[in-house]
Structure 1
Amino acid sequence: MNRLLIPFFFVIHLNAFAQLVNGGGSIQYLRIFEETDDFGKEYLDVLEGSIENVKNDTLRFKIINDLGYHYHTRNLQKALEIINQGLREVRAAGNELWEGRMQVSEGAILLRMEELDHAELVLTSALQKLPEVETWLLLTNMGYVFERRGDLSMAFEYATRTLQLGEKYRDKKAIAMAYSDISNLFWKQGKYEKGVEYGKKSIALFEERGIYDLDYDFTLHVLGNNLVELDQFEIALPYFKKSVEIGEKYGFYNNLSDSHIALAELYIQIEDFQNAEISGKEALKYAELLQNEFMVVRSLYSLGKLKNQEGDYESAIIYLERSIRTATDQFGDLYYLGLIYRDLSSALEGAGQSHEALQAFKKFNEFNKLVFNSDADNRIAQLQTEMDFNQKENTILLQVEKLKRQETIQIFTMVLTGFMVIFLFILYRVFLKRKKYSMLLEKQNKEKEFLLKEIHHRVKNNLETISSLLALQTAQIENQELHDIMLESQNRVHSMGMIHQNLYQGDNLAAIEMKHYFENLGKFVIDSFDATDQISLSVSMEALELNVERAIPIGLIVNELITNSLKYAFPENREGKITISLYQNNAHLYLHYADDGIGMDTKSKIKGTGFGTQLIKLLTQQLDGKMTLSTQSGTEVYFEFHFEKAA
C-alpha cells in the first residue's frame, strides 16, 4: 500500500495515534489495518477529524473509504452516511475506480443492515469498475449476501472464487478471508472438523500478516464455534477471549456481539448458566449499540436458548418471540430463523403450549428444508470436491515449481562446481609453476651462495699466499726497521684475509660479526709480535654485524692501533692490556680503542715511518669519520663514523 502525505495540521494527533506519523517534515497516513494496527479505540475519531482539511483527492477518498468501512463495526447508519458522502465526491470527480471501491464498502454496510437485495445490486455495479486483483473483498461480501439469505451453496461458491483469486495473485489476506468464510460455512453445515481445519489455516495466515484486524477477530470466534460443537471447550475458550480482547481494543461492536454470542453458547454447553447470561446480555448490548437487527436477533436467540436450558420456559418464550418480531418477514437469514423457531417450539412445549409448539416446529422444518435441501447439499458437495481438487492441483503445481527450482539450483550448483574445479585446476597449475620457479630460484641462490663463498675463499687463500710470501721475505731481512715494516704489511694483509674467511665460513655472506673478528684479529697480531704472555686483549661489546665495505677499513684501523701499541706502548717487555669496543647508535658507529701503556707524547717526533698513522687518517676519512686522541692515561682513541655514508 502507498503512504500518502497529509498536511501539517495532523501533527496534533501524532503522539496518540500511530496511523498518522511524521515523515520528513510532513505527516504520512499509514492505512489502518493495512500498514499498521498500532493505535487505540479513538482511531475513527482521528480519521473523521482529518477529512475536513484534506485537499488531495486521492488521500481524501482513501480516508473517507477507510472511515466509512470501519465505522460499520460501530454505527451502521453513520457508516452509510460517510460512504454516501464519499460516493457523491468521487462521482463529481469522475473517478470510477474509487467509486467502485466505495461501492464495495457500501455493499458491506447494506448487507449488515439486512438490505440484501440493495447490497447485491451495489456490489454487482462495483464489479465492473475494479481491477480483478481488488475484487476479492467484493466477492467475500457477495458471499455474505447469499449466506444471509440461507443460500449456503452460493455462499460457498463465492468463498471458493475468493480463494482462487487470492491464490492467483498470492494475496495472503484474500486467502485467509476465504478460509475463514469456508470454516464458517462448514460450521453451519455441521461439518465441524472441516471447519476447524480451515479455521486454523486462516488464523495461521492472519498471524503471518502480523496485523490484528476485523477479519482476524471474526475468524477467532468462527474457529471457536467449530471447537465448541466438537466439545473442545477448553481449547475454544482462549479463541473467544482473544476475539473479545481485540474487539474491545478497536471498538468492533459487530464482532463483540458475535463473540459474546459464541461465549454464551460455550457456557450453555458446560452448564455455566450465570456466565452464559452475562455473555448473552453483552452480545445484546453491542448489537443495540451497532443498531444491527441481525445481531439483535441472534443475541435474543442466545438468551432464549439459555433460558430453555435452565428450564425457565416463560423467559425463553419472551426472548425468542422478541427475536422473531425483530427479524420481521424481511429477515434474510433463514438458517438462524429456523433455529429460533426450533428453540421456541421446545420452550412452548415445556410451557405446556403443545399446539403453539407444533406450529413453531413446522416453521423450523420449513426453513430447514429451504436451507438444507438436497440440491443445496449436492451443490456444496460438488464445490467442496472442486475446491479440494484445486487445492491438490495447486499443491502439485507448487511441488512441480519446487522441483523446477531445485533442478535449476542443481544445474547452477553443477556449473558453479565445474567452474570451481577449473579454477582450482588453474590455481594448482599456477602453484606448480611457481613452486618450480621457486625451486629454480632456490637452486640458483644456492649456486650463487656457493660461488660467492668460493670467491671469498679464494680471495682469502690469495691473501694468505701473499701473507706467506711476505713472511718468507721478512725472515730473510736482517735490517730490523725493514723487518718491522714487512711484518706490519703481513699483518695488514692477514687482517683483510680474516674478513673473507669469516664471510665464507659464516651464515651471512654480506656481513661480518665484529666482536668475534676483533678477538681473532687481536690474537693474531699479538701472537705475531710474540707478546701473548705479555699483553691481554678485551673486546667489550655486543655482537654487531657490519658489511664488507665498513668491516675492512675498521679492521685495518684496529690492526694499525694494536700494532702501534705493541711497538711503542709497552717497552722493555712491560705487561699491559688492550681494550676494544664498537657500537652503533642511530646513524653513527662509535669505535673506542685503549691501551694502558706509557702513552704518547704528541709534541715529540713521530716514531717509525709514520705510515700507520697516515693510514688510520685516510681510512677514517674514507668512512666519513673523525678521530679523537687522549693520552692522559695510556693511549685512548675515539672514532665516530657516519653510518649511512659509510654504508
Structure 2
Amino acid sequence: MKWIVVFLFFSITLKTEAQVYFSNGEMKYRQVFLDTDDFGDDYLENLEKSLEKLKNDSLRLKVLNDLGYFTHTRNLKKSLSIINKGLEEARKKGNVYWEGKLQVSQGAILLRLDELDWAEMVLKSAIEKIPENETWLLYTNLGYVFERRGNLGEAFEYASKTLKIGEKYGDEKAIAMAYSDMSNLFWKQGKPSIGLEYGLKSLALFEKRNLLDLDFDFTLHVVGNNLIKLNRLDEALGYFQKSIAIGEKYGFYNNLSDTYIALSDLYNQKGDYIAAEKSGLEALKYAELLENDFMIMRSLLSLGKSNNSIGHFSHAIEFLEKSIQVATNDFGDKYYLSLVYLELSKAYEGDKKFAKALEASRTYDKLKQSVFTAEADQRISLLQTEMNVSQKENTINLQEARLEKQKILQIFILTLAGFLVVILGISYVVLVRRKKYNLLLEKQNLEKEHLLKEIHHRVKNNLETISSLLALQTAKIDNKEFQGIMEETQNRVHSIGMIHQRLYQGGNLKTIEMKDFFLNLGEYIIDTFNASQRVSLICTMEPLELEIDQAIPIGLIVNELLSNSLKYAFPNGNKGSIKVSLSERESHLYLQVSDNGIGIGTNPEVHGSGFGTQLIQLLTRQLDGKMSLVTNSGTEVFFEFQIHKAA
C-alpha cells in the first residue's frame, strides 16, 4: 500500500512537472504547441527538473531538444548550453537521428546569436542524419542564415525546398512556414503586395492548426510589416497587437522585440513620435532580456529613427552609435547595419556635422551595395554640396566682418556701380553673340539628329538584309534541328532591328518605349510560330522608356522567353497566354515573363542546344541582374536589374 501511494505521488508530481507523466507502464511526454499550448512561466523550469527522472534515451533526448529550443525564446545562451549537452549525450549513445535533430536546434540558436558561418556548417551537417519529411525546419533555418547575409535569392530557394517537402508529405506546418518565410523575403525585396498574399496564406494554415505557436506569432508580425509598406497602417496595427498579445502570453522575447521595432516604424509614419519611442524602448527591453545583440542593435536603430523624426539629433546619434558598437565590425547582417548608417547620416546632417554625415552616408552606400545594390550618388552629392555651402557661408561671414572694420562700404558701392555699367555693356555684347551662336548650334544639332536617324535607319536595313539572308538559307536546310537554330537566330536579329527602327521613327534618339516594343515583338514571334489563333500576348505595364544599352539585352531576353513558351508551353495545339511586364522602382528594373502552359516540372527535360538559356544568363549578368524561376502554375520568370546612371 505504501508503494502504491509513493507511485501515485511520483506520477502526480511528474504530470505537474511539465507534461511528463507515467502511463501504461511507460513514461510519456506531451509536447508543447503540438499536443498542448500550456507554455506558462514555469514550463521550462519544470521540464528541466523532469529530466532527472527520464531513463529512456530517446525520450530524454527529445525532451532535451524541446527544452533547449523553447528556451531560446527567453535566453539564447542558456538554450545553446542545453542543446550542447543533448548533443554530447546523443553522440555518446550513437543516436544519429537525435544528433541531427539537436543540430537543427543548435543551428537555429547560433544564427540568432549571429554565428552565421557556424550555423550553416551545423545545419548542413544534419541533412543526412534525419528523414526527408523532417528536414523542412532545417531548410527553414538555412534560409534564415542566407537572409541574414542579405542573399535573398538563396534564402528563397530554401523556402521553396521547405514548401516542396510540406506538399510532398502533407505537412501543413511546413507549408505555413514556407509561405511565412516567402512573405518576409518579398517584404525585404520591396514587394509588399506579393508578401501580403503569402503571409495571409500562411496565417490561414496556422489558424487551421489552432495552435498559437512561435511561428504563428512571427507570421502576424510579417503580415504587419507588409501592410506598413502598403501604407495600410491601421490594419498593420491590428496584426501587431495580436502578435504582442501572443508574445506576452508565452514569453516570446525575440518576437516581442521584433514587433515593437515594427510598431516604432508604424508610429513614426503616423506622426506619433512619443508612441514610436516608447515602442523602441519596449523592443530594447525584450532584446536585453534575451541577450540578443542582433535585436539590441535593431532596437537602438528604431530609437535613433524616432529621435530623428522629432529633431532630437544628438539623442539619435547616441542611440545609433551605440547600435554600431553592439553590432561590432564582423556583424553578419549588413542589411540592418546599412539602415543604421543611413539614419546616422540623417542625424549628423541634422546636427550640422556634414563631414560625419558624408562619411556615414558613404558607409551606408557601401553596405547597401554589398546586400542589394548601391543607390545613386545623389545623397552623397547633396551632402557634399551642403558641406561646401556651409564652408562658403563661414568665409563670407569673415569677409563681411573685415569689410565692416575697414569702413570702406561707400567706396565699394561707388566702385561697384562703375563696374556694373561696364558689365552691362559687356553683357549686351555677349548676349548678342550668344544668340547667334545658339542659332548655329541649333542648326548643327538638327543636322546631327538627321544623321543619327539615318544611321539607325541603315543599321535597321542591314539587319533586315541579314534576317532575309538567314530566312533564304533556312529554307534550303533539311535538318530540322539546324533549321530551328537558324530561325531562332533570325528572330534575334529581327529583335535588334526593331529597336533601331523605333529609334529613327521616334522622337527620342536615345531611348525606346518598351511596352509598344514588347507588343510588336510578341506579335512578330507569335506569327512566326503560326500561333496567333491560340496564343495571346498580355503586356501589363505602364509605358517605360529605356536607353539602347538596356533595351537591346532586355529585348533579346524577352525574345528567348517568348520563343521558349511558344515551343514548349502549349503542346498539341493548346491555347493559352503569355504575360510580359517591365517596371522601374528605386534604381531597379523588374522584368516578369510568365505563361499559363504546362510548366517545366521538377525535373525539366533539356531541349535544343541550350544556347538560348546561356544567352539569357549572359545577358542577365551583363545587366548586373539576377533571375528567379517559379513553376507553380505554368512557368514564371522574374528578373531584377540594377540601373547604373551617371552621378
TM-score in same-fold range (> 0.5): yes
Matched, 1:180 2:176: no
Is this contact kept in 1: 2:224–2:240, CA < 8 A? yes
How big is the shift at 1:64? 0.1
Alignment of 1:94-493 (within 5 A): 94-373=94-373, 382-383=627-628, 385-386=630-631, 389=634
Q: CA-to-partner distance for each residue in 1:120-167, whole Å, 9 max, x for gaps?
A: 111111012111111110001011111111111111111111111111
Instruction: Identify the residue that residue 9 of structure 1 maps to in structure 2.
Output: 10
| Distance in 1 separating the partners of 2:155 and 2:93 | 35
Give distance in 2, aligned partners of 1:363 and 1:196.
32
Letter in 1 for 2:150: G
Q: Which amino acid aligns with 2:330?
A: Q
Contact 1:301–1:319 (CA under 8 A) maintained in structure 2: yes
**1:425 matched to which residue of 2?**
none
Q: Alpha-carbon deviation of 1:388?
A: 6.3
CA gap of 1:21–1:245, structure 2 versus 1, over 3 A, is: farther
Q: Distance in 2 between matches of 1:270 and 1:199?
A: 23
Distance 2:351 2:13 in 1: 61
AA aligned to 2:274 is Q
**Corresponding residue SS for 1:382:** strand
Distance 2:226 2:306 in 1: 19
Superposition map of 1:560-599 within 5 A:
none
- Tell me the distance in 2 between the aligned counterparts of 1:344 and 1:387: 43
Deviations 1:463-512 (A, max 9, x none): xxxxxxxxxxxxxxxxxxxxxxxxxxxxxxxxxxxxxxxxxxxxxxxxxx
Structure 1 pair 382–370 and aligned structure 2 pair: CA distance change class (3 A):
same
Task: Kindly name which structure, 1 or 2, has the bigger radius of gyration based on alpha carbons.
Answer: 1
Aligned residue for 2:150, secondary structure, equals: coil
SS of 2:142's equivalent?
A: helix
TM-aligned CA deviation for residue 267 of structure 1: 1.0
1:234 alignment partner AA? D
CA–CA distance in 2 between the matches of 1:55 and 1:115?
33
Unaligned runs of 5+ in 1: 1-5, 393-647
Distance (whole Å) between structure 2 residues aligned to residue 376 and residue 190 of structure 1 = 11
Aligned-pair CA distance for 1:224: 0.4
Is the Cα contact below 8 Å between 2:11 and 2:22 reproduced in 1? no
CA displacement 1:163-205 (0-9 Å, x = unmatched)? 1111111111111111111111111111111111011011001
- d(CA) in 2 for partners of 1:154 and 1:64? 31
Aligned AA (1:192): P
Distance 2:626 2:36 in 1: 39
2-structure distance, mates of 1:215, 1:355: 44
What residue identity is the alignment partner of 1:12?
T
- Does the 8 Å CA contact 1:8/1:26 hold for their aligned counterparts? no
Q: Are the counterparts in 2 of residues 221 and 243 from structure 1 also a CA contact under 8 Å?
A: yes
* Gap change, CA 1:384 and 1:247, over 3 Å in 2: farther
C-alpha distance in 2, partners of 1:8/1:371?
Answer: 59
For each residue in 1:268-313, what CA deviation from the matched residue of structure 2 results, as whole angstroms up to 9, or x when unmatched? 1111112211111111011111111100010000100110111111
Q: Deviations over 1:410-435 (max 9, x none)?
A: xxxxxxxxxxxxxxxxxxxxxxxxxx
User: How far 1:9 sits from its partner (Å)?
Assistant: 3.2
1:216-241 C-alpha deviation (Å, 9 max, x unpaired): 11111010011011111111112111
C-alpha deviation, 1:206, in angstroms:
0.6
Contact 1:7 1:54 in 2 (8 A): no
Equivalence for 1:46: 46
Deviation per CA, 1:448-471: give whole Å up to 9, x if none. Answer: xxxxxxxxxxxxxxxxxxxxxxxx
The CA distance in 2 between the partners of 1:86 and 1:376, in whole Å, is 47
CA contact (8 A) 1:183 1:198 kept: yes
Query: TM (normalized to structure 1)?
Result: 0.57
Q: 1:365 to 1:216 in 2, by over 3 A?
A: same
For residues 1-53 of structure 1, give each alpha carbon's deviation from its aligned partner in whole angstroms, at most 9, with x where no partner exists: xxxxx997352264586x34675587631111122213423211121111111
Higher mean displacement: 269-278 or 105-114: 269-278
> Aligned partners of 2:297, 2:290: CA distance in 1, in Å?
13
Say if 1:7 and 1:26, in contact at 8 Å, map to a contact too: no
Instruction: Indicate if the aligned counterparts of 2:227 and 2:233 stay in contact, CA closer than 8 A.
Output: yes
Provide the C-alpha distance between the structure 2 equivalents of 1:256 and 1:348, rounded to a whole number of angstroms: 30
Kept in 2, the 8 Å contact 1:183–1:195? The answer is yes
> Structure 2 CA distance, aligned partners of 1:112 and 1:385?
29
Change (3 A) 1:13 1:247: farther
Equivalent residue letter for 1:282: E
Conserved in 1, the CA contact under 8 Å of 2:17 and 2:47?
A: no
Q: CA RMSD in A?
A: 2.5
C-alpha distance in structure 2 between counterparts of 1:64 and 1:269, whole Å = 44
Residue 79 of structure 2 is matched in structure 1 by 79
- CA drift of 1:113 comes to 0.7
Distance in 2 of aligned mates of 1:20 and 1:237: 39
Letter in 1 for 2:228: V
CA distance in 2, matches of 1:109, 1:326: 18
Return the offset for 1:107: 0.4
Q: Distance in 1 between matches of 2:317 and 2:39?
A: 43
Classify 1:143/1:107 alpha carbon distance in 2 versus 1 (closer, same or farther; 3 Å): same
Contact 2:20 2:50 in 1 (8 A): no
Asked if the contact 1:157/1:383 (under 8 Å) is kept, the reply is no
SS at match of 1:128: helix
**What is the one-letter code of the residue matched to 1:106?**
Q
**Alignment partners' CA distance in 1, 2:11 and 2:291:** 31
- CA distance in 1 between counterparts of 2:42 and 2:281 reads 25
Aligned AA for 2:13?
Answer: I
Specify whether residues 61 and 11 from structure 1 end up closer, same or farther in structure 2 by C-alpha distance, changes over 3 A only.
same
Instruction: Provide closer, same or farther for how the CA distance between residues 310 and 10 of structure 1 changes in structure 2, counting only shifts above 3 A.
Output: farther
2:292, 2:156 → 1: CA distance?
A: 24
Q: CA deviation at 1:389?
A: 4.7
Contact 1:254 1:295 in 2 (8 A): yes
| SS of aligned partner of 2:28 | strand
Counterpart residue type for residue 268 of structure 1: N
User: Any idea what the Cα deviations from partners look like across 1:100-123, whole Å, max 9, x if unmatched?
Assistant: 000000001111111111111111
Contact kept, 8 Å, 1:76 with 1:290, in 2: the verdict is: yes
Change (3 A) 1:218 1:386: same
Aligned residues: 386
Secondary structure of 2:31's aligned partner = coil
Q: Is the contact between residue 16 and residue 39 of structure 1 (CA under 8 Å) also seen in structure 2? A: no
Counterpart in 1 of 2:563? none
Q: What's the CA shift for 1:381?
A: 6.6
- Deviation sequence 1:332-355 (CA, Å, 0-9, x none): 111111111111111110110111
Is the Cα contact below 8 Å between 1:133 and 1:169 reproduced in 2? yes
C-alpha contact (below 8 Å) 1:342/1:364 kept by paired residues: yes
Equivalent-residue separation in structure 2 for 1:270 and 1:257 (angstroms):
20
1:87 is displaced (CA, Å) by 0.6
Residue 382 of structure 1 aligns with an amino acid whose one-letter code is M
